[in-house]
């Protein structure tokens, strides 16, 4: 290879290499001469929060329940007789007062039966009067027949004396004896009639009593042809129509009492013992509900005697206090039940509770975790509040009411606006 060619190759590689080395040297030089920035220290963040100021007081937990309107006074009226339906003055959904006619049955057949029973009673009363008159006559006849027997006996004795003196015939003696026996037989028959008077009267009185009972039953059936409301209520169903023939015992109409309404609501099992003890102590448990924009008060009257299969509590029966509301049967109502008050209870917003049993008190500008016991809920101005107890809390303490995802013991916070406890 010629020297010229070698020089040419060396020049081709050396010039780029020199440029690269110069560039690296300059970069290193600039890096070495660059001033270092001052080190900055990390500043602890302070989280803005809201708080509530605690105030201990006696507060009653509340339960929000779902109830259903019902009544123990719900009746199905049936026909007492076999008759045709004459008229139906009221229809389903209409209110009725005690004694109002709901269904009118035809009276014709029952009226005929009443007339027959009255005739039976009149006949037996006549028989009783006849028996009384016969008894009085038999008593007078008995005295006469006793006298006739005595006369016949003396006549026979005279004939027997004459026969002994051969002053009369045997046939006359036999005739006198026959007269005596005839008189004695008549006396015995009259004595029997007098003796049977008491039993005859007892038989007639029994038959008359039976006839009077049948007459009362017929008159009662006649009254029952007018099916009347047994109480103030509302008609829930009509089972017949005019012209239809009904038999005794066939359902006609159903209704319920409007002044005996109850609300059935299930109490959670954890509160049933508390409710039972309060009822046993004759202390009222009040509840409230809204119907058509008006508030009605109820009281827990009793607890159900059984727990339904699959239920998580026991049914409580509530009675309205004061005026009865215009609530239809089986209507669903929201109840707010006040339980027995607890002493030294704090009221907190729902956002103040962490992990079901932890709250954070503000100590200076730091969070301090405390364990509390939840005793229930309370609903005020449409907002749910938590009722808690804790020996570590006191009046005037500020408790965190803001839900922080990173809330831990010792976290630095900045109280924005502390709020009073409700």
CATH of the domain at 381: 2.40.420.20
361 and 382 part of one domain: yes
Q: Which of 312, 338, 364 is the C-terminal boundary of a domain? A: 338
In a domain, 11, yes or no: no
Identify the pLDDT of residue 355.
86
User: In terms of residue numbers, what domain contains 364?
Assistant: 49-59+342-420
d(CA 348, CA 50): 12
CATH of the domain at 97: 2.40.50.100
Q: 377 pLDDT exceeds 60?
A: yes
**Residues in contact with 125: Cβ distance below 8 Å, sequence separation at least 6, in sequence order:** 208
**Residues in contact with 275: Cβ distance below 8 Å, sequence separation at least 6, in sequence order:** 267, 285, 300, 303, 316, 339
pLDDT in tens, 202-240: 898 999 999 999 999 999 999 999 999 999 999 999 999
Identify the pLDDT of residue 172.
74
118 and 212 part of one domain: yes
Q: Is the pTM above the cut of 0.85?
A: no
Treating both helix axes as pointing N-terminal to C-terminal, what angle do 170-195 and 197-223 enclose, rounded to 10 degrees? 30
Q: Buried b / exposed e across 232-271, counting CB within 10 Å, b at 16+? A: bbbbbebbbeeeeebeeeeebbbbbbbebbbbebbbeeeb
Identify the pLDDT of residue 31.
67
> pLDDT band at 380, cuts 50/70/90?
confident
Q: What is the mean pLDDT of residues 93-105?
A: 93
173 vs 218, higher pLDDT: 218
In a domain, 32, yes or no: no
Q: Which of 106-110, 160-164, 340-344, 383-387 has the lowest mean pLDDT?
A: 160-164
**Residues in contact with 116: Cβ distance below 8 Å, sequence separation at least 6, in sequence order:** 218
In a domain, 207, yes or no: yes
Q: Which of 237, 257, 277 is the C-terminal boundary of a domain? A: 257
362 vs 19, higher pLDDT: 362
118 and 204 part of one domain: yes
pLDDT in tens, 117-153: 999 999 999 999 988 888 888 788 878 888 887 887 8
> pLDDT band at 33, cuts 50/70/90?
low
321 and 368 part of one domain: no
d(CA 320, CA 259): 9
Q: What is the mean pLDDT of residues 252-267?
A: 91
Identify the pLDDT of residue 138.
78
d(CA 68, CA 265): 7
164 and 215 part of one domain: yes
CATH of the domain at 278: 2.40.30.170
Q: Which of 137-141, 339-343, 395-399 has the lowest mean pLDDT?
A: 137-141
**What 3-state DSSP class applies to 256?**
strand
Among candidate residues 257, 250, 221, 336, the one with its CA nearest the CA of residue 290: 336
Q: 6 pLDDT exceeds 60?
A: no
In a domain, 100, yes or no: yes
In a domain, 277, yes or no: yes
β pairing state of 47-53 and 413-420? parallel
Q: What is the mean pLDDT of residues 385-411?
A: 90
419 vs 386, higher pLDDT: 386
301 and 405 part of one domain: no
% the chain with pLDDT above 70: 87
243 and 156 part of one domain: no
Q: 106 pLDDT exceeds 60?
A: yes
Q: 13 pLDDT exceeds 70?
A: no
| Average pLDDT score, the chain | 85
Is residue 292 exposed (0-12), middle (13-18) or buried (19+ Cβ within 10 Å)?
exposed
The tally of domains found in the chain comes to: 4
In a domain, 396, yes or no: yes
pLDDT in tens, 351-366: 999 988 899 999 888 8
Q: 422 pLDDT exceeds 70?
A: no
Q: 273 pLDDT exceeds 90?
A: no
């Amino acid at each position: 290879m010629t020297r010229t060619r070698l020089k040419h190759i060396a020049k081709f590689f050396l010039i780029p290499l020199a440029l690269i080395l110069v560039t690296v040297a300059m970069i290193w030089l600039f890096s070495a001469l660059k001033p270092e920035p001052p080190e900055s220290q990390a500043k602890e963040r302070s989280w803005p929060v809201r708080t509530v100021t605690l105030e201990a007081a006696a507060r009653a937990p509340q339960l929000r329940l779902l109830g259903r309107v019902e009544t123990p006074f719900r009746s199905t009226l049936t026909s007492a007789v076999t008759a045709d339906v004459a008229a139906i003055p009221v229809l389903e959904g209409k209110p009725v007062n005690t004694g109002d006619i709901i269904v009118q049955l035809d009276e014709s057949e029952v009226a005929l039966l009443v007339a027959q029973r009255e005739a039976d009673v009149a006949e037996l009363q006549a028989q009783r009067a006849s028996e009384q008159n016969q008894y009085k006559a038999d008593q007078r006849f008995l005295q006469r027949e006793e006298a006739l027997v005595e006369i016949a006996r003396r006549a026979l004795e005279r004939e027997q004396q004459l026969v002994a003196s051969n002053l009369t015939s045997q046939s006359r003696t036999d005739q006198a004896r026959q007269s005596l026996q005839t008189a004695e037989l008549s006396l015995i028959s009259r004595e029997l009639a007098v003796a049977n008077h008491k039993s005859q009267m007892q038989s007639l009185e029994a038959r008359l009593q039976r006839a009077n009972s049948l007459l009362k039953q017929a008159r009662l059936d006649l009254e029952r042809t007018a099916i009347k409301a047994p109480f103030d209520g509302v008609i829930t169903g009509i089972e017949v129509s005019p012209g239809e023939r009904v038999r005794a015992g066939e359902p006609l109409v159903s209704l319920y009492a409007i002044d005996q309404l109850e609300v059935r609501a299930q109490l959670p099992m954890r509160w049933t013992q508390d409710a039972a003890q309060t009822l046993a102590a004759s202390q009222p448990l009040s509840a409230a509900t809204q119907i058509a924009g008006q508030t009605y008060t109820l009281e827990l009257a009793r607890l159900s005697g059984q727990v339904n299969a699959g239920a998580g509590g026991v049914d409580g029966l509530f009675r309205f206090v004061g005026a009865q509301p215009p609530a239809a049967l089986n209507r669903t109502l929201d109840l707010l039940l006040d339980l027995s008050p607890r002493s030294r209870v704090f009221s907190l917003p729902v956002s103040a509770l962490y992990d079901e049993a932890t709250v954070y008190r503000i100590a200076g500008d730091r969070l301090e975790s405390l364990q509390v016991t939840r005793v229930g809920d309370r609903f005020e101005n449409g907002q749910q509040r938590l009722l808690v107890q804790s020996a570590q809390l006191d009046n005037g303490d500020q408790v965190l009411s803001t839900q922080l995802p990173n809330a831990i013991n010792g976290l630095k916070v900045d109280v924005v606006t502390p709020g009073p406890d409700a």
